[in-house]
A = this chain, B = another copy of it.
Amino acid sequence: MPKLQQIHRMDNIHRLFFKAFSNQTRLEIIQLLKKKPLTVTEICYKTGFEQSRVSHNLRCLEHCGFVKITQNGNSRVYTLDEETIVPIVNLFEKHIQKYKLRLENCWVIKDV
């Protein structure tokens, strides 16, 4: 018998995809890749983040389908899947403009 799973239109999987966006490292990487594809080394240089930190987080982004990898010599070029990411981010824009100030009182914030 297969594991019964309730069908929610919006289930836990959603949470995991949102989580991919909710972390500073990954979000900065996404920002950079919005401009153009980059190798791991380039991302490290531009962000100042350590290499393994970048690699670990890229792996997550790849599993989530947010980035695609192509090999180029001995380096790997990461490309953003713009088709899905950009619209999601843009949708947030509108909401954010409106509520950004109230966010200051939200307990999930520690650093703004």
Q: How many copies does the complex hold?
A: 2
Dominant secondary structure at the A interface: helix
Choose among B16, B22, B84, B106 the residue that contacts A15 (Cβ–Cβ < 8 A): B22
Verify if A36 is at the interface (C-beta below 8 Å from B): no
Contacts A64-B102, A103-B64 hold; do A16 and B92 have CB atoms under 8 A apart? Answer: no
Contacts A10-B27, A15-B27 hold; do A87 and B91 have CB atoms under 8 A apart? Answer: yes
* A-side interface residues, number (CB < 8 Å): 48
Cβ contact within 8 Å between B60 and A108: yes
In whole angstroms, how far apart are the Cα atoms of A104 and B93 in the complex? Answer: 29
- Give the nearest-CB partner of A65 in chain B: B99
Cβ contact within 8 Å between B65 and A95: yes
